Amino acid sequence: MAALGDMSSSGYSFDEIQSIANNILTFTKHRPKVGIICGSGLGGLADQVDDAEVISYDQIPEFPVSTVAGHAGKLVFGYLQGKPVVLMRGRFHYYEGYPMWKVAMPVRVMKAMGVGTLVVTNAAGGVNPEFQTGDLMIIKDHIDLPGLTGECVLIGRNDERFGPRFPATVGTYDEDLRNLAKTISVELGYNSIMREGTYIMIGGPTFETVAESRLLRTFGADAVGMSTVPEAVVAKHGGLRVFGISLITDMVALDYNTTRATTHEEVLAVGQKRAGDLQKIVSNLVARMTV
């Protein structure tokens, strides 16, 4: 038995991940090549999936339940713009009490199902004062704040079949996909709302104090959220191509004169209003990417 504090056995083994993936595939005829993780309030993309087959997380014993409003808890298989996809309508967050490895475990399952490209979306707070609520931000890079402070998703024994012990994270967000998304956003007339920048993950569930938001800005963050980074790190570790995009649902307070405070309801409301723009970018990107 592992000693107290021994993290060597954290996470599912390689064989367990294969068997979780194989079990899920018995529920569907589809064989996805692109995995899409939908952020808070952004699951509407699933309505565009053709020939959809839906599996609820409670049909998968190893999947935790999503406990957050705006995360439905369903895997949706089918075709998006002719490409075989699997969408996660509902992701797992560290602040829900799941260990970091479990938060990102579905990414390994997706890879075991045949996924080669991961698209991650999220709702995020704008830290760059030039941003506005409703903007979209292509993720160019991230800051893994939990990782930098000892909660990296890859802590624990490493099985080289998942990826190397010491993976590079430079270039996590695929440059070709970022360029394609920029081209698409120009074509769609989204220049004025499309940004590119650095996403920083905090553990949550508290939104930032003014002092914390100022700190995040000095770190070089353009947007802040409570997800995405563990998924992207595990995907990069496993050799997947990654594209990430944030919907800026609110602007963090960098000034003590402000009286407004971010709420999850506000995040969901902006998500509801502006998710269509994000979905258009993602579906056009999937249409034009090679898989």
Ligand X SMILES: Nc1nc2[nH]cnc2c(=O)[nH]1
Ligand Y SMILES: O=P(O)(O)O[C@@H]1C[C@H](O)[C@@H](CO)O1
Q: Which residues bind ligand Y (CB under 6 A)?
A: 39-40, 68, 91, 93, 122-123, 204, 225-227, 264, 267
* 123 lies in the binding site for ligand X (CB under 6 A): yes
Which residue minimizes CB distance to ligand X?
A: 125
Taking the C-alpha atoms of residue 124 and residue 129, their distance in angstroms, rounded to an integer, is 14
Shortest approach of ligand X to residue 248 CB, angstroms? 8
For the record, the structure tokens of 219 come out as 């770190």
**Is residue 253 within 8 Å of residue 226, measured between CB atoms?**
no
Judged by CB, which is closer to ligand Y: 94, or 162? Answer: 94
Shortest approach of ligand Y to residue 40 CB, angstroms? 3
* 38 lies in the binding site for ligand X (CB under 6 A): no
**Is residue 137 within 8 Å of residue 246, measured between CB atoms?**
yes
* 124 lies in the binding site for ligand X (CB under 6 A): yes
224 contacts which partner out of ligand Y, ligand X, none, CB within 5 to 8 A by kind? ligand X
Q: Please choose, from the candidates 236, 218, 239, the residue with its C-alpha nearest in 3D space to the C-alpha of residue 228.
A: 236
Judged by CB, which is closer to ligand X: 174, or 222? Answer: 222
For the record, the structure tokens of 261 come out as 């405070």
250 contacts which partner out of ligand X, ligand Y, none, CB within 5 to 8 A by kind? ligand X
Judged by CB, which is closer to ligand Y: 28, or 76? Answer: 76
Shortest approach of ligand Y to residue 179 CB, angstroms? 24
Shortest approach of ligand Y to residue 44 CB, angstroms? 13
252 contacts which partner out of ligand X, ligand Y, none, CB within 5 to 8 A by kind? ligand X
Q: How many CB atoms lie within 10 A of CB 53?
A: 14
| From candidates 28, 198, 249, 284, binder to ligand X by CB under 6 A | 249
* 125 lies in the binding site for ligand X (CB under 6 A): yes
39 contacts which partner out of ligand X, ligand Y, none, CB within 5 to 8 A by kind? ligand Y
* 202 lies in the binding site for ligand X (CB under 6 A): yes
Q: Please choose, from the candidates 202, 235, 263, the residue with its C-alpha nearest in 3D space to the C-alpha of residue 88.
A: 235
List Cα–Cα distances, 9 to 13, 14, 69, 159, 188, in angstroms: 9, 12, 31, 11, 48
Which residues sit at the interface with ligand X, rule CB under 6 A?
A: 123-125, 202, 204, 207-208, 224-226, 249-250, 252, 262, 267
